[in-house]
Chain A
Amino acid sequence: MQFEQAQQTAERLGVTVRAIQKWANEGRIPGAKKVGREWMIPVGLVKPLDKVVISDKPKKIRMAMPLLNSSFTPGKCREYIDCIPDEDDRKIALGEYYYFSGQAELCTKTVEEYLDSQDEALRYSAALLCSFANLSRGHIHLARFAMDRLKTDMIKGLRSEATAELHAIGIFTATTAAVLLHSPVPDIPPLEKYLKFLPAGLKLFACYVLAHKAYLEKNYEGCLAMAEMSIDLCPNQYPIPEIYCRSVMVMALTNLKRMDEAKAQMTELWKLAQPDGLIEVLGEHHGLMQGMIEIFFKNDYPEEYKKIIEIVYAFAAGWRKIHNPDTNHDVADNLSTMEFTIAMLYSRGWKAKEIALHMDMSERSINTHIQCIYEKLQVNDKNSLRQFMLT
């Protein structure tokens, strides 16, 4: 190895001799050696190593999705957010509020600056929120970008020396995006193994994600048990995760044709969601709730019903674009929400008579609607209809 004097290194790098000596004393110049009172620096040094700060305080792990993880009192969500001491957490929580109350554009505007944050939890939160919010906004390339960031970051994080808690957050956010958007779950450890590392609120939401996965696998009894038990075992009430758990219970009960119980769960869900206007969940799950939203909201909560339907249209349009990017067959967008609900039920094996009873309509009307649906989708049997629906 060849060496030069500190003076030569300083001139070459455009810094003072004092700076070179300081770096060498701090051990930030690999290979530097002291000869007498002078430092000899290896030729070719470009810059010193980064300064290492040794602290005896353990590094505080920031939690992703602070609002999802909070047990705020229903009706006092905005007050809770305003009192969050950390500014970044407060902004992410505000973004979450905007998303869960159906204000997708405000959500992305609030959180997208965190997509490049140095803090993993902020980055994960922003990526998860942007994946879903951009779907509703129809900005599919931005939704895909956020989802890819989530997966890449999470995989990179798993290879690092990060703690189990941080790994858990990464796996939680990546699995959530994959399951709820019906994408293949990336090749990562199963979320079930990392539940114990999540805080209570995120754990409850993770249980909703796993229950939703069971639902998609047509394990309706399992889905129901999982969601119900998760709520019962939770030490506190976490409104947003509980709203989602109850939504998947409504879906499972409707599939099991236990309609009175489904309505009871919808009532409990609405008690939690109504005070803060957290209606996004209803828009996202409209199709899978198979008419329960029409039955519950259309007559008794017409204003909310109108807002929910707007979310349904926006979310469903984005959903189709992300799942069928190359198809020209976008006529499914022409279905009204009523037709979509009937199509969902019919494609899941419900008979016209059963749908008529469920929706409080005549069988003739239902048959007419189904014919109309067939014409709009250019199909002529149930099997072809199933391909258009969210199954």
Chain B
Amino acid sequence: MEKVKHKTFSLDGDIIEVKFRYDNECDVWHGEYPDFIESPRYTPGGRPWINVTKDDCEYSTSEYGDCGGCEHLMKQSETDLIGVCMKDNLKTIIANEEAI
């Protein structure tokens, strides 16, 4: 029987629930994360949810070009693969672009 669990990510006033499936062979839980590149999502505070694999932007502090390595990315815990970008400049730009 497939092992499944759910985890809640709560950041900047927004809550996302992600389903995890257990990979028996590799002894690893795989999360079915939303793809925020394809379907952007914002918190009530106007901040974008980010997958750590997303390419970084001009405000990034990441050395290797990924949002996962940027200091502006706020995550619920260190090992999470999604988080919220707390860079104010970015919040303004993206929220306005989406509105257009």
Contact = CB atoms under 8 A, between A and B. Distances in A.
A153 B61 CA distance: 50
A381 B62 contact: yes
Nearest to A364: B35
Interface string A239-280: 000000000000000000000000000000000000000000
B95 to A, nearest CB: 23
A370 interface: yes
Interface in B12-61: 25-26, 28-31, 33, 35, 37-38, 51-53, 55
B28 A380 contact: no
Q: Helix, strand, loop or mixed for chain A's interface?
A: helix
A383 B63 contact: yes
A190 to B, nearest CB: 33
A30 interface: no
B43 to A, nearest CB: 20
A372 B20 CA distance: 12
A352 B54 CA distance: 8
| B contacts with A: majority SS | loop
Interface residues of B, number: 26
Contacts of A374: 52-53, 81
A375 B65 CA distance: 19
Given A352-B55, A374-B81, A381 B66 contact: yes
Interface residues of A, number: 20
A380 B66 CA distance: 10
A349 interface: yes
A376 B62 contact: no
Interface in A333-375: 334, 349, 351-352, 363-364, 367, 370-372, 374-375
A363 B30 CA distance: 19
Given A352-B53, A380-B52, A380-B81, A371 B65 contact: no
B96 interface: no
B30 A372 contact: yes
B68 A380 contact: yes
Contacts of B29: 375
Question: For A363, A372, A376, A382, which residue has the most chain B Cβ atoms within 10 angstroms?
Answer: A382
B51 A381 contact: no
A378 interface: yes
Contact of B80 (A352, A380, A383, A386): A380
A251 B33 CA distance: 33
A371 B38 contact: no
A382 B81 contact: no
A379 to B, nearest CB: 9
A383 B56 CA distance: 13
A331 B28 CA distance: 10
B78 interface: yes
Nearest to A347: B64
A363 B55 CA distance: 12
A367 B53 contact: yes
Nearest to A370: B53
B33 to A, nearest CB: 6
Given A375-B28, A376-B28, A386 B64 contact: yes
A376 B65 contact: no
Contacts of B35: 364, 367
B37 A367 contact: yes
B64 A383 contact: yes
Interface of B: 25-26, 28-31, 33, 35, 37-38, 51-53, 55, 62-66, 68-69, 75, 78-81
13 contacts: A351-B55, A352-B55, A367-B53, A374-B52, A374-B53, A375-B28, A375-B81, A380-B78, A380-B80, A381-B52, A381-B68, A381-B69, A383-B64
